[in-house]
Chains A and B, each alone.
Chain A
Amino acid sequence: MLIPAQIADDARPRLARGVRLQIDGTTGKSVLLFPEGILELNETAQEILTRCDGRPLSDIACALAEEYDVDLATLAADVREVLADLQRRKLVELA
C-alpha cells in the first residue's frame, strides 16, 4: 500500500485552478465543480473547504475544533485525510 507523505501543519491548502465551490440550489448542499466533474461534499469536507482561504492547515483544524468542541488531534487527522484525498484528485493545491 502506498502511504503518502503527511500534509504539513503549515501547508496552506486552497482550491486548485478551475475548481469552484458552490451551493447546489437543488439540495442546498455544497458541491465542487471542475472540468468534467461534480463532487457532492459531505458536511466535514464542506466545513474544511470553506476555510481553505490561504490560512495554514493548523489554523483550519483549530478553528473547527473550537467551533465543534472536539479534540484537536482527532480533528487535525480528519482534516488531513480529507485534504489529502482532494489533493490526489487535483481539486486542492497546497501552497
Chain B
Amino acid sequence: MTAPRPYALLAELTYRCPLHCPYCSNPARARNDAELTTAEWHRVLREATELGVLQVGFSGGEPLVRRDLAELVHGAREAKLYTNLITSGVGLDESRANELREAGLDSVQLSFQSDDVDLADEIAGVRAHQPKLAAASFIRAAGIPLSLNFVIHRRNIDRLPQMIGLAEALGAERVELANVQFYGWAFLNRAALLPTREQVARAREVATAAKARLAGKIDIFYVLPDYYETRPKPCLNGWGQRYLTVNPIGDVLPCPTASSAIPDLHFENVRARSLDWIWRQSESFNRFRGTEWMPEPCRSCPQKEIDFGGCRCQAALLTGSAANTDPVCSLSPNRVRVDAVLRDLNPSIVGAFDWMPRVNPNKEAAATLDREVTR
C-alpha cells in the first residue's frame, strides 16, 4: 500500500540514563555506535516536518543527559513541531527547566516509579524519587504543562490510589497509568512484573473511579495490561501509519521496541538515507503496512481495520514470528501461550520480585543477558 503521512516522531536521544528500571524501554542489547550529533538531529527534525510530522517526543534513555537538549527543542519549534519531553526528571534543576521553557518546550511527561519513596527508589535502583519531586516543582514554576507517567506492575499496582494522589498533589494536568508492556527489559523480567488477576481487576476499578472523580481536572489515561485482555491493542494504529522512532544511533523504527523484538527486520539509518525514503520505501516500514500481510484469523476478521492484528513485537516474542496474529487475541491459535504464562505465574506469585535491574550497555551486561536469555 502507499504510505500515509506520519504524525508523530519519537526521538530517542540517548540510551544513557542514571536509573535502572527493570522495565526500561532501552533495548536489552543496545549497540554501542556513536549517538547522532546535534546537527544530525536538526536534520532529522526538519525532514520529519517535511514528511508531515506534527509532534515530537524527546525521550531516551534519559534525554536530559544530552547537553544540547534545549537546542534540539528550539530546532523542533523552529520546524513548527509540538515538543514533548519524556523524562525521569533526574538532572532537571531550575535553570534547566527555564532554559527548556525558553527554547519553547510545550509539555513534560515526568515518570514516577511509585508515590512511596522507598519503593520508588528500589524500582529505579537509585535514589531518584526526591529529585523527581523537585523536578516537578521546577516544571510547574516554569509554567510548562505537566503529565505524570507511572509504569504499573505487580509491585506498585496496589498503590494506584496513592499514585493518583501524588499527581493531584503535584498539580499534574494529566496522568498516564500504563500497565507494563512486555518487551525488552520488561520481557526479561516478566515473571517479577506481571500482576495477578485480582490486582488487575482492582486497579481497573480504581482507575475508572478516579477518572470519573477527576474529570475536567486531571486527564487519566489508563493503559490496560493486555495479557489479561481477549483482544489485542491497536498497536501504533497500524504499522507504518502514524508513528516513527529514530533511536540514538540513527536507526529508524516503525515501533520503538521492534529492534529487539524482531531480529530479522533490517532497519535503515538516517546517516545513509533520507527519512522520506525510509518511511515510504524501506522494507521495514512496508512489511506490515496495511492488511495484505495478515494471516488467518485476522485476514477474514471484521476487526482487522480496528486492531490491525495487534502488536508485531508481541507476536514475534511469544510465537517466534512477527507475522502472526498477536497471541493476546483469543482467536489466535497461539493464545494458549499467553494463558500458560498467566497460569504459571498466578500461583507462584507471592514474594517473587527478583527482577534484573537494567544495566548500561557494556560487555559485562551482555554476558549477564546471555545467561538470562538462554536459560
Contact = CB atoms under 8 A, between A and B. Distances in A.
A68 B80 CA distance: 31
Interface residues of A, number: 16
B84 interface: yes
Contacts of A18: 106-107, 144-145, 173
A24 B54 contact: yes
A49 to B, nearest CB: 16
Interface string A11-51: 00000011010101110000101111010000000000000
Interface residues of B, number: 24
A35 B106 contact: yes
A88 B216 contact: yes
A41 to B, nearest CB: 13
Contacts of A55: none
Residue of A26, A87, A88 with most chain B CB atoms under a 10 A cut-off: A26
Contacts of A90: 173, 216, 219
Interface of B: 5, 7-8, 49, 52, 54-55, 80, 82, 84, 106-107, 109, 143-145, 147, 173-174, 176, 215-216, 219, 221
B216 A20 contact: no
Contacts of B54: 22, 24, 31, 33, 38
Interface of A: 17-18, 20, 22, 24-26, 31, 33-36, 38, 87-88, 90
Contact of A33 (B5, B55, B219): B55
Given A18-B106, A18-B107, A25-B80, A35 B174 contact: yes
A26 B144 CA distance: 28
Contacts of B80: 22, 25
A38 B82 CA distance: 10
A26 B219 contact: no
12 contacts: A17-B173, A24-B54, A31-B54, A33-B55, A33-B82, A34-B82, A35-B84, A35-B106, A36-B147, A87-B216, A88-B216, A90-B173
B216 A25 contact: no
